Amino acid sequence: MALLAPFRALRPAPSVASQVAAVPYDVVTTEEARTKAEGNALSFLHVSRAEIDLPSGTDPHSDRVYGQAVANYATLKRAAPMLEEATPSVYVYRLRANGHEQTGIGACYSIDEYERDVIKKHERTRQDKEDDRTRHLLDLRAQTGPVFLVYRGVASVDAVVHRVSTDAPLYDFIAADAVQHTLWRVDGREAQTLVDLFDRIPALYIADGHHRAASAARARRQLQGSSATAGKWDTFLAVAFPDAQVRILPYNRVVRDLGSLTSASLLRALAERFTIRVGPRVPERRGEVAIFVDGRWHMIVLRKLGPEASPMDRLDVSRLQDDVLTPILGIGDVRSDARIDFVGGARGTAELERLVRSGSAAVAFSMYPTSVDDLMAIADAGGIMPPKSTWFEPKLRDGLLIHEI
């Protein structure tokens, strides 16, 4: 079963929704957040990245930043204004971008199910990031950005979503990055129908937002025994999308230096192990990796794996690590090695070329994207994917739906 819980959302007045809505806190640096929020006092980045309203160089994890977030949140609630829903509701949330469309169910989901792996994970979380979002959540007493969930699609849920989306939406705007965000509020009989249908869904999968979910679980442990918020901290805010609609972009890699190698000796080492040719910027199929070095793109075909290989071994990011990054470039733990960095697919291969041409990186790897089926198979097996295996696009927005606890 998957528990879907209607809730009384705190949300912006429709006239200012596009001004409040902000990209997730963890896809921008402090400087990028400051630039995006410039001239917009209602941007939710003033809450999710409150250091932008403090002097440059302020530690984003200092007491001063969390205090600024609380103050900015109180100001936003008055100024927007932010409205609290009169009755518990569910939300249909549609994203459209570049011909792609996906529609999910925004609601609260069970922390018990998260801890029992009915809601399945595919990533490890970092302690420092958990610490940050747990404190942010507890100081604000609010879950301010949704977790991105995936489920195996169900025709009966699709039918409800279709019916709801023929009505007038609550919000409908195109953000600065050209992503269209459309939300409908669902209550009464249709909301109960969705609750009943989700009760038959055997599992949910975290696509994006592992740290938000983990922080909600940690916050609950700290709040247990507080009667003032009893029950509210048993769930976390999320939007769940059917698997067939979800789009994963590649998570590309760049390496800052070649160690003892030169560009020529790197290409010779690759040619000794793989089929290699001058090639396009983007792989056309699994098992291909495009490499930009010394001003040119090359394509390699990774070695075939036997039938005994696990779903995780079959990931192109795993194969690149095992066959190229470790044995040729000497990069072991990508979590800690400062020589490697990651570039989300939304930035495109032009960003990879820029990094190499500018000298910020010596070589770039353009990957074929991981599939949603890969993600679910690994999560079903209890596995953990390598770091930076998936980049989900388009992104949900912070500030449109808030779950206060």
Render pLDDT for 55-89 as a digit per residue (tens, 0 to 9).
Answer: 999 999 999 999 999 999 999 999 999 999 999 99
pLDDT at 404: 96
User: Confidence class of residue 229 from pLDDT cuts 50, 70 and 90?
Assistant: low
How many angstroms separate the CA atoms of 20 and 399, rounded? 6
Query: What is the b/e burial string over 113-142, where b = at least 16 CB atoms within 10 angstroms of the residue's CB?
Result: bbeeebbbbbbebeeeebebbbbbbbebbb
Q: Is the pLDDT of residue 319 over 70?
A: yes
Q: Is residue 85 within 8 Å of 11, Cβ to Cβ?
A: yes
Q: Is the pLDDT of residue 356 over 90?
A: yes
pLDDT at 386: 87
Q: Is the pLDDT of residue 242 over 70?
A: yes
Q: What is the mean pLDDT of residues 261-281?
A: 95
pLDDT at 231: 72
User: Confidence class of residue 401 from pLDDT cuts 50, 70 and 90?
Assistant: very high
In which order are the strands placed within the sheet that holds 288-293?
Answer: 275-278, 296-301, 288-293, 363-367, 251-255, 340-344
Which tops the pLDDT comparison, 65 or 345? 65
pLDDT at 269: 97
Q: What is the mean pLDDT of residues 290-302?
A: 96
Q: What is the mean pLDDT of residues 175-200?
A: 96
pLDDT at 205: 98
- The tally of CA atoms less than 13 A away on the side-chain side of residue 165 is 19
pLDDT at 387: 84
Which tops the pLDDT comparison, 307 or 191? 191
Q: Is the pLDDT of residue 305 over 90?
A: no
User: Confidence class of residue 48 from pLDDT cuts 50, 70 and 90?
Assistant: very high
Q: Is residue 178 within 8 Å of 394, Cβ to Cβ?
A: no
Q: Is residue 59 within 8 Å of 65, Cβ to Cβ?
A: yes
Name 208's bridge partners: 148
pLDDT at 307: 85
Q: What are phi and psi of 115, to 5 degrees?
A: -75, -25
Q: Is the pLDDT of residue 225 over 80?
A: no
Q: Is residue 401 within 8 Å of 91, Cβ to Cβ?
A: yes
pLDDT at 209: 94
What pLDDT digit, counting tens, does each position of 133-147 carry? Answer: 999 999 999 999 999
Look up residue 255 and give its amino acid.
V
* CB neighbour list of residue 302: distance below 8 Å, 6 or more residues apart: 274, 287, 288, 289, 316, 319, 320, 323
What pLDDT digit, counting tens, does each position of 80-122 carry? Answer: 999 999 999 999 999 999 999 999 999 999 999 999 999 999 9
For the chain, what is the mean pLDDT?
Answer: 94
**Hey, what domains does the chain have and what are their CATH numbers?**
4-246+393-404 (no CATH), 251-368 (3.30.1760)
Task: Give the angle 307-308-311 at the CA atoms, nearest 5°.
Answer: 90
Which pair of tokens denotes residue 389?
A: 């295996």
User: Confidence class of residue 226 from pLDDT cuts 50, 70 and 90?
Assistant: low
| Closest to 107 in 3D by CA, of 161, 179, 27 | 161
